[in-house]
Structure 1
Amino acid sequence: MKIGLVSDCLAGQSFEELLKTCKELGIEQVELGVGNWSSAPHVDLDGLLESEAKRDEMKGMLAEYSISISAFNCSGNPLAPGDWGRREDEITRKCFRLSALFGLSTVVMMSGLPAGGPDDKYPNWVTTSWPPETQEILNYQWNQVAIPYWKELVKVANASGVRRLALEPHGCQLVHDVENFLRLRDACGGDQTIGFNLDPSHLFWMGADPIAVARALGDSIYHVHIKDVRIERPAAVNTLLDGKGVLDFAKRSWNFAIPGYGHDERWWREFLVTLKMMGYDGVLSIEHEDYTMDTVTALRKTAALLHANRV
Structure 2
Amino acid sequence: MKLGFLTACLPDRSLPEIAAWAAEHAYEALEVAAWPDLGARPFTATHLDAAGFTDREADATRTLFDRHGLTLSSLAFYDNNLHPDPDERRAVNEHVAACIDAAALVGCPTVGTFVGRHPGQSVAENLAEAEKVFAPLVDRAGEKGVKLIIENCVMEGWHPDGYPGNLAYSPELWEWMFSIGLYLNYDPSHLVWMGIDPVEALRPYVDRIPHAQAKDIQLFPEKRNRYGWPGKAVVREDPFDVGWWRYRVPGLGDVDWATVVDTLYEGGFDGVLSVEHEDPVWGGTEDKVHTGLEVAHRTLRPLIVA
TM-score bin (small chain): 0.7 to 0.9
Q: Is the 8 A contact 1:114 1:146 kept in 2?
A: no
Q: Could you say if the C-alpha distance between residues 96 and 300 of structure 1 is closer, same or farther in structure 2, counting changes exceeding 3 Å?
A: same
Q: What amino acid sits opposite 1:238 in the alignment?
A: Y
Query: 1:139 and 1:19 mapped to 2: Cα distance?
Result: 42
TM-score (norm: length of structure 2): 0.85
AA aligned opposite 1:153 = L
Residue 209 of structure 1 and its aligned partner are, at CA, apart by 1.1
Alignment correspondent of 1:66: 69
Deviations 1:195-236 (A, max 9, x none): 211101111111111111111213111211000110024223
Match of residue 211, structure 1, among 195, 199, 202? 199
Report the CA distance shift for 1:158/1:263 in structure 2 as closer, same or farther (over 3 A): same
Which consecutive unaligned segments of at least 5 residues does structure 2 have?
155-164, 283-287
Equivalent residue, structure 2, for 1:12: 12
2:26 is matched with 26
Structure 2 residue aligned with 1:110:
114
Instruction: Find the counterpart in structure 2 of residue 169 from structure 1.
Output: 152
Deviation at 1:238, TM superposition (A): 1.4
- TM-score, scaled relative to structure 1: 0.83
The 1:248/1:105 distance shift into structure 2, 3 A limit, reads closer
Matched residue of 2:212: which SS? strand
**1:151 — aligned with what?**
135
Find the residue that maps to 2:75 and give its secondary structure.
Answer: strand
Q: Distance in 2 between matches of 1:2 and 1:246?
A: 35
Distance 1:62 1:211 in 2: 32
2:275 aligned residue:
286
Taking the TM superposition and a 5 Å limit, the aligned residue runs for 1:233-248 are: 233-242=222-231, 244=236
Aligned position for 2:161: none
Hey, what does 1:277 align to over in structure 2?
266
The 5 Å alignment of 1:87-102 reads 87-102=91-106
| CA distance in 2 between partners of 1:173 and 1:282 (Å) | 24
Distance 1:215 1:18, change over 3 A: same
Aligned equivalents of 2:99, 2:216: Cα separation in 1: 27
Percentage identity across paired residues of the two chains: 28
Match of 2:125 in 1: 140
Larger radius of gyration: 1
**Are the structure 2 counterparts of residues 245 and 67 from structure 1 closer, same or farther at C-alpha, using a change threshold of 3 Å?**
farther
Q: Which of 176, 182, 192 is the equivalent residue of 2:175?
A: 182
Deviation at 1:180, TM superposition (A): 1.0
Aligned mates of 1:149, 1:197 — CA distance in 2: 19
**Kindly tell me: are residues 56 and 299 of structure 1, through their superposed partners in 2, closer, same or farther at Cα, counting changes over 3 Å?**
same
Count matched residues.
280
Match of residue 250 from structure 2:
259
- 8 Å Cα contact 1:227/1:287 also seen in 2: yes
Q: Deviations over 1:133-173 (max 9, x none)?
A: xxxx2332222x112222332112212322x2221112111
- Other structure's SS at 1:234 match: helix
Instruction: Determine whether 1:302 maps to 2:302.
Output: no
- Which structure 1 segments of 5+ residues have no match? 118-136
Q: CA RMSD in A?
A: 2.2
Cα displacement string for residues 13-60 of structure 1 (whole angstroms, at most 9, x for unaligned residues): 222221121012211111112116764331122332xx3222222222
> Does structure 2 conserve the Cα–Cα contact (< 8 Å) formed by 1:108 and 1:223?
no
Shift of 1:248: 9.4
2-structure distance, mates of 1:17, 1:138 = 42
Which amino acid counterpart does residue 230 of structure 1 have in structure 2? Q
